[in-house]
Structure 1
Amino acid sequence: MIVNQSDNFVIKAPAEFSFKENMRYIGRSPNECMFEIQDNKIIRLIPALDETLLVEISENSDGNLLIRFLEKTYPISKKVREEVQLYIRDWFDLDTDLKPFYEMAKNDLLLQKSIVEFYGLRNIGIPDLFEAIAWGILGQQINLTYAYTLKRRLVETFGSQVEWKGHQYWIFPEAKDIAELTVEDLAPLKMTVKKCEYLIGVAKLIAEGSLSKSLIMGTGDFKEAEKMLVNIRGIGPWTANYVLMRCLRFPNAFPIADVGLHNAIKHVTGAKEKPTKEEIMELAAPWKGWESYVTFYLWRHLY
């Protein structure tokens, strides 16, 4: 639901939503380059059709999201305004009903503490497919801190930006632009040759139209969607499930081999050793249909 307020608008948030909790999550890295947090407000560029809008997202007194367009980036049409709303709803996953998840989790010994401590946390998404896959590729086999550094280098070298009040706000590079590059063009970013090749390869698939969100969703089946992604060079099961979880919103996406997930389970259970795959599968039996949210909530213990 959207409520207009002159040049601003309000997005009604579900009861199971905490702006404060989601702000804690998105503010976890001081090296984030896609948005800025100032005075409990998020400022970021949002692509909408052929426009780029600089918006401020905050919480109003009713617990809903107040969206304000900044400077000269007011949308020129109602359709663009609606696209901005859809982007924000997707980013915060506002259309997922979390009541069944909380009902399931309150009876799960591993999740009981998580849903109390992080109540209202949403699976913060990555609406753009190329950005989601690129982030998955960048993060392969390195720590999160360095992954953020690589993302910043990529964005600030090949992305576009708007300056406002002395700050630069960036849009992630478009697939069509990365598709035209060579490995040598990406060399100054200091990532492996393989990652450079993977990024360019994925960018070319998206730019030529042979890979898109609609094509993946059109499979109508999680396993088929996973297979489509895994068949792409540079995308293994972890990256595929990460993208299916954060971008395509498959609720049963489950990066079971994720080291962070293993560490989170070890932390919550107080175990001396990380769990085996077999142990995780046993724990996951009651999670069917909510694996992506379980993963996201368990990850939250690490930040």
Structure 2
Amino acid sequence: MQPDPEICHSARMARDKRFDGRFYTAVKTTGIFCRPVCPARPPLERNVEYFATAAEAAAAGYRPCLRCRPDAAPGSPAWGLVSTTVQRALGLMRREREAQSIEELAERLGITSRYLRKLFADHIGLSPLQVWQTERALFAFSLLRDTSLSIGDIAFAAGFNSLRRFNGVFKAIYQRTPSEVRRERSGMASGSVHPEAEPVRIYLSYRPPFDWPELLGFFAARALPGVERVVVGNTPEEAVYQRSFRLNGRRGVLRVAHEPEKDRLRVTVYGEGAAAVLYPLREKLRRLFDLDADSEQICVHLQGDPLLGKVLLQSPGVRLPGAWDPFEYTLRAILGQQISVAAATTIAGRIANRYGETFTGPEGEPVLLFPSAEQLSGADFSDIGVTRTRAKTLQHFVAATLDGEIDFDEPDLERFCAQMTALPGIGDWTAHYTAMRGLSMPDAFPASDLGILIALGKENDGDRKATPKQALARAESWRPWRAYAALLLWQSLKLSSSSGDKK
């Protein structure tokens, strides 16, 4: 996982935003590590060394730069190079607010704690605890600088149940206490407390290019009434994504806006005790908007295809629209079988109205929470406008989820699809589409999708659709990014339609 020094040198000298979060530059003479976009004067090459992740740099004894703020860097794609088991471990570590013991983590992964330690040592060069502490300290720093939350709330949000332990870990990494960092913030006293009634604002960075209008438009067409609201707007300031959520027993509303000049999303969180869920909420949003995608690598891989290359010229920042909750999305994918997007969204809205929970939103408006599997246990779905067969499929899916037959943590695409298609009424399209968006699997490919078949058929200026077999054969060269290729094929239909209108 050692970065290439020549590439790193060129990137940091150019302050290339495409490399932000891909590596960190540690300066031997100052003991500080920076992002490649740091505005400070670049140090001499003989005085630096490079690390793939912030955790590695911190573990080597370097402290984060207070000017470029490694805590604000996009997620590192370096984690994608490690073993599947380590990726799963990292995902489980980031999903929970509190730290898990190595034994608990290993048990959830079905391996021994000794083997898990070995995997981390071999693939990352750090222990799970070192990774956890560094990531949480960086997150805490961002809250100290960007919010008015009290230090106690920030410690809790970062996963520390002991303020003393939080102070110790934070000082070891930043070589200053949280109170000192808070005092350095202009006009902020060390004991300042964030009023519970006020919203909390956090920021999520990404590496450009990033096609926000296309992503937001995709969500807008599928926004669930009462649960989600999307305002496309004419300017970046007007465009907003909003949805309700329930995390760790806390419920609230979040709003996401784009700040293109700073290559980041601005997230405003409303709700009591919002600090307690900020870390898992941030991780969910990073996946929802695919913020850690390696866009450059994806583009280089797919642009060799003539059809995909044309779309990439007009939309280079393709992202894979994710899902807030895999269960919610899978249920919606089942509803979407053989009907339009609009019809499936309408029926999903009926489920939310019939079985979901209502609470008051930030402006006093009623807000819906989509029901959980537990809340849908025993539901007959007879009053939402689906056939008896489709209602049975929904019931089987809910029961299978509660019984553990559907594993949303399954990292293998083929095994997950096998779990899904084992249920009556669920075919290959639903399984792959769920894997693609519900689980953000980059190589999922719903080969029988009508839009994909039409797009491939139109390539030769004909009205004849391609066959699923032809689509699968064509998609072999797109691995492991077939899900992104599917998105580009759907976009190609819109582009050809716009071109036809102009003609």
TM normalised by structure 1 equals 0.88
Relative to structure 1, the CA distance from residue 244 to residue 271 in structure 2 (aligned partners, 3 Å threshold; closer, same or farther) is same
> Does 2:207 align with 1:8?
no
> Does 2:218 align with 1:18?
no
**Cα drift, residue 46 of structure 1:** 2.5
Relative to structure 1, the CA distance from residue 30 to residue 50 in structure 2 (aligned partners, 3 Å threshold; closer, same or farther) is closer
* Paired residues of 2:241 and 2:256 also in contact (CA < 8 A): yes
Relative to structure 1, the CA distance from residue 161 to residue 300 in structure 2 (aligned partners, 3 Å threshold; closer, same or farther) is farther
Q: Distance in 2 between matches of 1:114 and 1:21?
A: 12
Task: Output the amino acid matched with 1:168.
Answer: P
Task: Output the amino acid matched with 1:23.
Answer: L
* Paired residues of 2:223 and 2:229 also in contact (CA < 8 A): no
Relative to structure 1, the CA distance from residue 35 to residue 302 in structure 2 (aligned partners, 3 Å threshold; closer, same or farther) is farther
Residue deviations 1:127-146, cap 9 Å, x none? 42221221111011112221
Aligned twin of 2:60 = none
Relative to structure 1, the CA distance from residue 75 to residue 258 in structure 2 (aligned partners, 3 Å threshold; closer, same or farther) is same
Alignment match of 1:241 (pick from 432, 436, 444) = 432
Residue deviations 1:193-230, cap 9 Å, x none? 1111111211122223332312x33xxx3322221221
SS in 2 for 1:116: helix
SS in 2 for 1:56: strand
Relative to structure 1, the CA distance from residue 31 to residue 271 in structure 2 (aligned partners, 3 Å threshold; closer, same or farther) is farther
Alignment match of 1:149 (pick from 346, 354, 361) = 346
Q: Distance in 2 between matches of 1:265 and 1:149?
A: 29
Aligned twin of 2:281 = 84
Residue deviations 1:14-45, cap 9 Å, x none? 22323233222212357755311242112211
Bigger Cα displacement from structure 2, 98-107 vs 34-43: 34-43
Query: Relative contact order, CA 8 A, sep 6+: which one is greater?
Result: 1
Runs of 4 or more consecutive aligned structure 1 residues displaced over 4 Å after TM superposition: 29-33
* Paired residues of 1:45 and 1:169 also in contact (CA < 8 A): yes
Aligned twin of 2:269 = 69
May I ask how many residue pairs the two structures share in their alignment?
293
**Cα drift, residue 244 of structure 1:** 1.2
Task: In structure 1, list runs of 5 or more residues that go unmatched.
Answer: none
Alignment match of 1:45 (pick from 214, 234, 244) = 244
Q: Distance in 2 between matches of 1:47 and 1:30?
A: 17
* Paired residues of 2:250 and 2:273 also in contact (CA < 8 A): no
Aligned twin of 2:359 = 162
Q: Distance in 1 between matches of 2:203 and 2:288?
A: 15
Relative to structure 1, the CA distance from residue 113 to residue 74 in structure 2 (aligned partners, 3 Å threshold; closer, same or farther) is farther
Task: Output the amino acid matched with 2:268.
Answer: R
Alignment match of 2:446 (pick from 251, 255, 259) = 255
Residue deviations 1:86-115, cap 9 Å, x none? 110111122221222100222210101221
Give me the CA root mean square deviation.
Answer: 2.1
Q: Distance in 1 between matches of 2:349 and 2:315?
A: 28
Relative to structure 1, the CA distance from residue 295 to residue 45 in structure 2 (aligned partners, 3 Å threshold; closer, same or farther) is same
Larger Rg: 2
Task: In structure 2, list runs of 5 or more residues that go unmatched.
Answer: 1-71, 73-138, 148-199, 232-237, 495-503
> Does 2:311 align with 1:106?
no
Q: Distance in 1 between matches of 2:302 and 2:288?
A: 23
Task: Output the amino acid matched with 1:35.
Answer: E
Q: Percent identity?
A: 22
TM normalised by structure 2 equals 0.55
Task: Output the amino acid matched with 2:442.
Answer: P
**Cα drift, residue 259 of structure 1:** 1.0
> Does 2:249 align with 1:54?
no
